[in-house]
Structure 1
């Protein structure tokens, strides 16, 4: 990816050296950090219209996972443990503490897993279209989504055809999971990290590792461990949800109200999976108001 940022994403770029590679992030403001974590196949650009609503609430940091966005693409397998190591390294490199995590999709997996391991560093957790209870089986999906995952996971050749040759996550799934049509330059901003076919091999990993019916077992263990912890910790939590949603439809919201202590919920209107593209202002305002109510935005000067 060129370091030319899209015109509609004016936040200054920064790079952290992590394990010999550069991880890209945007940063603005000061105080205790809000760490924004994206998932597949997006990057910090996803948060561009959410961030302005949180001005004054702390040090806003939106990072690109290793291999994603404007971060480097080192020659690593991009398995789940790789992402965990690089995100751990990023948080260490910036010396982040008293963190409010704002997360989505696979970013929520890594955010929850980090919080579970470092609860003393976390002030609160805000999440949307997040990976909470593991998906019980392929039957939980609509027929189209089920076919997508079953085909992709049936062979590496299928995964590479769908992700590398056809670039399906960027060209098909992303626009299909947003209610409004993306502008040409917006779609181009999501295409930009993935213009080279070989680099798109990275995109095979997350759909292959999404926990469906307890598989892969290693992901299932991590996910069940953090969801169990989330069900016990009194850390402030905010579940932001849209209608109809995708990973977290309305019936699931009621379930999580029972399951997760100290949980507030905020309904932001219509949206599918990438709800930051449909309701960014409402998402940002919901987080800001939740932080005010929980007293999460007070500055602590060390």
Structure 2
């Protein structure tokens, strides 16, 4: 796998590339970089020209301090394709990469052969993902990343206990559950990579922007929507009993009301874990009714009518935790005809 750069209309992108054939783009999530796809870039390069870019603000890609929206990030992806001369491609997105991919294929369907989502959402936020609320409280994320960025990465990818304070100062625990050992999944090279990547204050800015501006919360009112201002989210977060005790917490807020009536007819795949779709899994397979009672999951079937689903009873970091499983799933799905 080669480390490459390319200049688009507005950004200089860093990306990893390997292989020849039909183009396949892999988009990373938070708090990672395109390095999270290192296994798939290599393994899938025997059949595809694989490209894994660092998205705006992360890794080796430019970090202009601009307001970030999902439309901007989708436009970045199209510009990246244009800079490489890719008229059409398949795209796979994990976490935030999936949120970018969904916007891109809904707004630019003619540019994509198919789309796969790995443990993400596409238009509706999951209320148990507390970081989505926390990022909107002015000052909290800024202070946390300035003081604790290394401890955060060390805990998440190395299992090293952290000494940072809990809620409301941050939404994450400072200890992992007994028996959890992410160092087995990621290894020392990955830990050091993410330490370096998340030591950059410009990346901290983009972490905050992605969630604060890129995920505007709305309450659904039938076929219309009501914007929930950040000041209201802040009051919810600072509730004396914690946000979980706030009477309005628990509703599934929509962050892409403008996409309500958009559909992508091409092949789509949703690989999910209990992070996004909690509940019991059948051995070796998906939920029988994966979207029941979960509007965030149901939104995939609405926007992507040609959808397949696969459940994985593991952690959120599927590309690194279960690379062989994901490789098999993607190969089978990518081999299917598009029509």
TM-score bracket, shorter-length normalisation: 0.7 to 0.9
Q: Which residue of 2 aligns with 1:7?
A: none
- Which structure is larger by alpha-carbon Rg, 1 or 2? 2
Cα-to-partner distance string for 1:31-65 (whole Å, 9 max, x where unaligned): 22111111222111111112333233321111111
Match of 1:76 among 59, 66, 76: 66
Residue 18 of structure 1 pairs with residue 8 of structure 2: yes
- Conserved in 2, the CA contact under 8 Å of 1:57 and 1:288? no
SS in 2 for 1:69: coil
In 2, the alpha carbon distance for the partners of 1:22 and 1:235 equals 30
Following superposition, the deviation at residue 258 of structure 1 comes to 5.5
In 2, the alpha carbon distance for the partners of 1:20 and 1:128 equals 27
Q: Which residue of 1 aligns with 2:146?
A: 164
Residue 235 of structure 1 pairs with residue 236 of structure 2: no
SS in 2 for 1:264: strand
- Normalized per residue, the structure richer in helix is 1
Q: Which residue of 2 aligns with 1:200?
A: 204
In 1, the alpha carbon distance for the partners of 2:78 and 2:88 equals 15
- C-alpha root-mean-square deviation of aligned residues, in Å? 3.1
How many residues are treated as equivalent by the alignment?
Answer: 271
Q: Which residue of 1 aligns with 2:118?
A: 128
Change (3 A) 1:180 1:60: farther
Match of 2:306 among 262, 265, 270: 262
Greater displacement, 16-25 / 123-132: 16-25
- Conserved in 2, the CA contact under 8 Å of 1:40 and 1:206? no
Change (3 A) 1:113 1:289: same
Q: Which residue of 1 aligns with 2:182?
A: 181
SS in 1 for 2:336: helix
- Conserved in 2, the CA contact under 8 Å of 1:163 and 1:201? no
- Conserved in 2, the CA contact under 8 Å of 1:132 and 1:227? no
Cα-to-partner distance string for 1:208-257 (whole Å, 9 max, x where unaligned): 2435454578xx88724446434xx3311111123x2x124456734548
Cα-to-partner distance string for 1:278-301 (whole Å, 9 max, x where unaligned): 1111111101011123369xxxxx
Provide TM-score, normalisation by structure 1: 0.77
Following superposition, the deviation at residue 17 of structure 1 comes to 0.6
Following superposition, the deviation at residue 264 of structure 1 comes to 1.6
SS in 1 for 2:313: strand
- Conserved in 2, the CA contact under 8 Å of 1:38 and 1:104? yes
In 1, the alpha carbon distance for the partners of 2:65 and 2:301 equals 43
Higher relative contact order (CA 8 A, sep 6+): 1
- Conserved in 2, the CA contact under 8 Å of 1:32 and 1:97? no
Provide TM-score, normalisation by structure 2: 0.69
Change (3 A) 1:207 1:71: same
- Conserved in 2, the CA contact under 8 Å of 1:50 and 1:280? yes
